[in-house]
């Protein structure tokens, strides 16, 4: 499979602190690529660099044949990279459908189309409906987002992202704070999304990671310690040494 993203020498420094240290990764198209490591390993900073939330201090990120490192967030989103955050990022007073419609509207590139109400745009409606179907929230479409359960709100956040029609999804701990049943539903959703998307996933739930991942990258102190298949990571002596037998590789 071709690569969806190629990360070359990517670094981020905050004064004397190196948060991401010369990261080199190739993310294959259609893979679920999980990034794990202890708190402070640089995982979220890496996603911030890929999504444009932070500019890199050095390095390149190749996507769709161009270097996107340092581009603004809205430009990277328009190119086809979506991002979720550790904290749910939705409009609580709007309905489930309205949240997805706003995501679909953000995909509209023509600045002059604001003169036409978005709800009359067939493309916007179709993208919103598709996102609802993918996330399994059709039955909740008229529900106010604030009335959803925590797990449903996380599903909705992914739905808003899907409405922008991204090719690559950057997911930062999508299962944080979920019950066992909610986690199962989220794992099922992410499996469905693999058809047609590339996922880069930060997650602390190791059962979910090993159930979903095609490739796992382990980060420590901003650098890549190891990267490989789940079987290779389980067998890695370097990972075992760093995490005392693998009891704490979240």
CA 16 to chain centre: 28
Residue range 159-214, pLDDT digits in tens? 999 999 999 999 999 999 999 999 999 999 999 999 999 999 999 999 999 999 99
Q: Which residues pair with 147 in a beta bridge?
A: none
| pTM, 2 dp | 0.90
Residues 6+ positions from 50 with CB-CB distance below 8 Å: 5, 7, 61, 76, 81, 170, 200
- CA-closest candidate to residue 12, choices 37, 62, 47, 39: 47
- 88-109: buried (b, 16+ CB within 10 Å) or exposed (e) per residue? bebeeeebbbbbbbbbbbbbbe
Residue range 23-49, pLDDT digits in tens? 999 999 999 999 999 989 999 999 999
Query: Cα–Cα–Cα angle for 30, 36, 38, nearest 5°?
Result: 165
């Amino acid at each position: 499979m071709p690569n969806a993203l190629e990360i070359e020498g990517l670094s981020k420094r905050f004064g004397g602190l190196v948060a991401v240290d010369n990261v080199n990764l190739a993310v294959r198209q259609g893979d679920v690529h999980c990034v794990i490591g202890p708190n402070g390993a640089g995982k979220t900073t890496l996603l911030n660099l890929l999504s444009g939330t932070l500019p890199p201090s050095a390095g390149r990120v190749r996507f769709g044949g161009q270097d996107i490192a340092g581009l603004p967030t809205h430009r990277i989103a328009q190119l086809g990279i979506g991002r979720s955050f550790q904290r749910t990022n939705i409009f609580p007073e709007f309905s489930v459908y309205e949240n997805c419609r706003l995501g679909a509207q953000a995909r509209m590139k023509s600045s002059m189309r604001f003169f036409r109400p978005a709800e009359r745009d067939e493309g916007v409606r179709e993208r919103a409906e598709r996102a609802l179907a993918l996330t399994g929230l059709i039955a909740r479409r008229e529900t106010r987002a604030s009335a959803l359960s925590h797990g449903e709100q996380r599903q909705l956040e992914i739905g808003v992202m899907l409405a922008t029609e991204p090719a690559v999804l950057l997911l930062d701990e999508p299962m944080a704070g979920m019950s066992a049943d909610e986690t199962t539903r989220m794992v099922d959703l992410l499996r469905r999304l693999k058809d047609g998307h590339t996922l880069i996933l930060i997650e602390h739930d190791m059962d979910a990671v090993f159930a979903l991942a095609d490739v796992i990258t382990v980060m420590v102190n901003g650098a890549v310690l190891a990267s490989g298949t789940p079987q290779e990571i389980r067998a890695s002596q370097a990972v075992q040494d760093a995490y005392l037998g693998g009891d704490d590789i979240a």
